[in-house]
Copies of this chain bind each other. A is one copy, B any other.
Amino acid sequence: MQLPLPEKKKCLLILADGAGDRPIKELRNKTPFQLSRKPHIDRLSALGEDGIMDSIAPGIRPGSDTSHLQLFGYDPHQYYTGRGPIEALGVGIDVQDGDIAFRCNFATLKDGKVVDRRAGRISEGTAELAKELNTIKITSVPGVQVIFKESVGHRAVLVLRGHNLSPMTSDNDPHDDGLAPLRPMPLEHKEAAHRTSAALAEFIEKAHLLLRNHPINRQRKLPANYILARGAGKLVKPPSFESKYGFKGAIVAASGMIKGVGHMLEMDVIQPKGATAGYDSDLIAKADAALEALKSHEFVFLHVKMPDLAGHDGDPGKKIECIEKIDDMVGYLLKKLDMAKTVVVFTSDHSTPCSVRNHSGDPVPIVVATEGVRLDAVKHFDETSATRGALMRITGKDLFPIILDLMGREEKYGA
């Protein structure tokens, strides 16, 4: 008897952002995964090998940026240098090696104090304001160019481009309303740090002059008359996904940070109509986009932000609702996927327990399903059941090799 030769597979990695949780006292010490009706995700559990995963390491509280880099097989300690560059990539700025990027807020300054760090959660007109800010010329530091782009709501990104710049600069964000903004200062005695903090200070001053007189702001009770910058980072360009793995990868996402990671790795970033980073996202539109992408890409990543929002909101009822919506999406996908030809992974990037209202260091459940994978007895996808699975406890670093191996696309280490 001889079994047929194996075929190479594709992979769909579905990620429910921040869905992992802790037992909730108010809900009989159960987690949202345990309380959700989710027949399709549970079916995936039954079809695959289950386990728990620390995306960075046990106890470490991962950001969404660092954890996603790690889940795609990129060491965040090497490529993560602050959130700025990823945000800049997320809004579509063609960030280049050596650029310094900052996350920014449109804010309201009054009598020398930041009275609203979000300028009344401004939602319209920021593109026009940003256009104005791109006219700013830095004169105190030679050879520095300004690129400014609005993002969602009050958010925006500033990129300083030029030779000899450094992320070792403090920023001007006082991080609370009612305080005076800070003066950007070099964080080390090197010319690059001095150049960068001087350029940032000049930008902020000139931005204020332009913004406070802008017609859009004249009508606002809380004018977007000031820019707060934070999270300075210098892009360290990693090898592209395709050059690293030898096949094409696509990301279906709406969240700026996740799209930023996709751009950073030069993956195809797809945001279908109706897909948002909010509770209202059209998950079937996302599923369709992922299925379409699987025709032309070997690896497709499908990101759903909403359970993380519910975790940050401390709302377990909402989180259960999100998980059940995701379950509908998984059911829709499973009907159309051929498990003989596809590795389907379902997991989270980190836990966002409702009782913590932020990311925690608790591991997340994970299932890796495809025809022929080692099966275990786990039939429910949740934090406790997963600890009895065949994968046992892995880290994010292990995930991509496991996926590549099951796809039949991994090089042998040795002979």
Residues of A within 8 A of B (CB): 1-6, 22-26, 29, 31, 52, 56-67, 76, 80, 83, 231, 257, 313-317, 353-362, 371-376, 383-384, 387, 389-390, 392-394, 397-406, 408, 410-415
Q: Is B257 within 8 A of A22, CB to CB?
A: no
Residues in B neighbouring A66, C-beta threshold 8 A: 413-414
Query: A1, B23: Cβ atoms under 8 Å?
Result: no
In the complex, A267 Cα to B400 Cα: how many Å?
A: 36
The residue from B23, B61, B374 contacting A22, defined by CB atoms under 8 A apart: B374
Q: A371 and B25: CB pair below 8 A?
A: yes
What would be 8 A-B contacts, judged by CB atoms less than 8 Å apart?
Answer: A3-B315, A6-B356, A23-B374, A66-B414, A359-B412, A362-B374, A376-B384, A387-B390
Cα–Cα, bound, A60→B401 (Å):
6
User: Hey, which chain B residues are within 8 Å of A410, CB to CB?
Assistant: 59-61, 361
**Chain B contacts of A404 at CB under 8 A?**
59, 361
Chain B residues with CB below 8 A from A371, complex form:
25
Q: Could you say how many copies of this chain the assembly holds?
A: 2
- Within the complex, the shortest CB–CB distance from A276 to chain B, in Å, comes to 19
Query: Could you list 19 further interchain pairs (A-B, Cβ under 8 angstroms) beyond the known A3-B316, A393-B394?
Result: A1-B315, A3-B26, A23-B372, A23-B374, A23-B375, A29-B375, A52-B392, A56-B413, A58-B394, A59-B398, A61-B412, A61-B413, A62-B412, A63-B414, A356-B408, A358-B412, A360-B405, A374-B384, A393-B393
A406 / chain B contacts, CB cutoff of 8 Å: 361
Residues of B within 8 A of A29 (CB): 375
**Inside 8 A of A23's CB, which chain B residues have their CB?**
372-375
* Known contacts A59-B400, A59-B403; A414 and B83 CB within 8 A of each other: yes
Known: A6-B355, A59-B402. A76 touches B374 (CB 8 A): no
Contacts of A362 in B (CB 8 A): 374, 405
Chain B residue at minimum C-beta to C-beta distance from A69: B414
Q: Of all chain B residues, which has the CB nearest A377? A: B384
Known A-B contacts A60-B401, A374-B383, A401-B60; the reply to A414 vs B361 at CB < 8 A is no
Nearest chain B CB to A215 CB, angstrom units: 34
Judge whether A3 and B355 touch: CB under 8 Å: yes
CB-nearest residue of chain B to A360: B405
Shortest Cβ-Cβ A-B pairs, 4 listed: A63-B414, A59-B401, A66-B414, A361-B405
Query: Which residues of the other chain, B, contact A372 by a CB distance below 8 angstroms?
Result: 22-23, 25, 353, 355
| Interface-central residue, A5, A52, A402, by most chain B CB under 10 Å | A402
Q: Are A5 and B314 in contact (CB under 8 A)?
A: yes
What are the residues of chain B within 8 A of A2 when measuring CB–CB?
313-315
Pairwise interchain contact A392-B390, C-beta atoms closer than 8 A: no
A232 to chain B, nearest CB (A): 13
Using Cβ atoms and an 8 Å threshold, which residues of chain B touch A387? 376, 389-390, 392
State the CA gap A405–B351 with chains docked (Å).
12
Report A230 CB to chain B, min CB distance, Å: 10
Contact of A390 among B315, B384, B415 (CB under 8 A): B384
Complex Cα gap A360–B374 (Å): 12
Q: Which of A64, A83, A360, A412 has the most CB of B within 10 A?
A: A412
Q: A13 vs B58: C-alpha distance in the bound complex, in angstroms?
A: 18
Give the docked Cα–Cα distance between A380 and B323 (Å).
34
Contacts of A60 in B (CB 8 A): 401, 405, 410, 413
State the CA gap A403–B60 with chains docked (Å): 10
Contact B314 A58 (CB under 8 A): no
Check if A3 sits within 8 Å of B24, measured CB to CB.
yes
* A61 pairs with B3, CB closer than 8 A: no
- Minimum CB–CB distance from A24 to chain B (whole Å) comes to 7
Give A65 to B414 CA distance when docked, in angstroms.
6
Which residues of the partner chain B approach A398 to less than 8 Å between Cβ atoms?
57-59
Residues of B within 8 A of A359 (CB): 412
